[in-house]
């Protein structure tokens, strides 16, 4: 990127600077637990994208399998995102009566129920 820098692309360079700053800030200021959650979210997102692309480009047959696989990604994403919101120390004021342990227990129970339905619907 360095040789491409020129006066023609001030906006691009500004954007990349902003992104770099944001990334550094994220690395520095985010706790390890939230990073773990974020990594999991990214994995689920890519899994969902791959399945949707396969459905659109190759086949949606059997459709119930697609629904189960895709719904497991979406549902897991939602549950994990909820967990992230509840355990984030910055949101402490909003989830005052929900301890992180309680949030994780909710997340686990929700995920187990979700996977129970997914595997029933998969075959």
Partner 1 sequence: MRFPLSAFLSFLALANNVFAKSSTGDSVLVVIDSSLQKEDYSKFFGGLEERGYQLTFRGPKDTHPPVEQYGIPGFSHVILFTPETKFVVASRCERALSIVIPAYTFDITPQSLVGLLSEGTNLLVTLSTKQTPLSSLSAEFSLIPPPPGTPLVSHHPARSEPATVVPIPVPESPLLTPGTPPVWFSGVPHAFGNSPYLVPILRATSESFAADSFDDSGADTLVDASEKVGEGLWAGSQLGLVTGFQTLKNSRVVFAGGVEMFGDEYANKTLPDGAPSGNEKFVRDVTAWAFRETLALRIDNTTHHRVGEEGSPEKYTTNDQIIYTAHISAYDPETSSWKPYSGITDMQLEFTMLDPHIRIALPPVTGEPGKYQVQFRAPDRHGVFKFVVDWRRKGYSFLQTSTTVPVVPPRYDQYPRFLSAAWPYYAGAISTSIGFFLFSALWLAGDVEGKKKKGLKTE
Q: Which of 95, 41, 102, 97 is nearest to 73 (CA)?
A: 41
Query: Pseudo-torsion of CA 43, 47, 48, 52, nearest 10°?
Result: 150
* Residue 32 touches partner 1, criterion: CB under 8 A: yes
* Residue 92 touches partner 1, criterion: CB under 8 A: no
* Residue 54 touches partner 1, criterion: CB under 8 A: yes
How buried is 121 (Cβ within 10 angstroms: 0-12 exposed, 13-18 middle, 19+ buried)? middle
* Residue 99 touches partner 1, criterion: CB under 8 A: no
CA 59, CA 95: separation in Å to the nearest integer? 43
Q: How far is the CB of 29 from partner 1 (least distance, A)?
A: 17
* Residue 123 touches partner 1, criterion: CB under 8 A: yes
CA 52, CA 31: separation in Å to the nearest integer? 32
Between 16 and 54, name the residue whose CB sits nearer to partner 1.
54
Q: Which of 23, 118, 13 is nearest to 73 (CA)?
A: 118
Between 2 and 112, name the residue whose CB sits nearer to partner 1.
112
By CB under 8 A, name the binding residues for partner 1: 32-33, 36-37, 40, 43-44, 47-48, 50-51, 54, 58-59, 61-62, 65-66, 68-70, 72-73, 76, 80, 104, 108, 111, 115, 118-119, 122-123
């Amino acid at each position: 990127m360095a040789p491409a820098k020129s006066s023609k692309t001030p906006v691009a360079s500004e954007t990349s600077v902003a992104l770099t700053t944001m990334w550094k800030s994220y690395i520095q200021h985010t706790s390890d637990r939230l990073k773990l959650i974020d990594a999991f979210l990214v994995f689920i997102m890519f899994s969902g994208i791959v399945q949707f692309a396969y459905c659109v480009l190759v086949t949606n047959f059997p459709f119930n399998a697609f629904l189960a696989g895709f719904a497991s990604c979406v549902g897991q994403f939602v549950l994990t995102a909820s967990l992230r919101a509840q355990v984030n120390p910055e949101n402490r004021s909003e989830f005052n009566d929900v301890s992180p342990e309680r949030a994780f227990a909710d997340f686990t129970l929700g995920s187990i129920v979700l996977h129970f339905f997914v595997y029933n619907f998969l075959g």
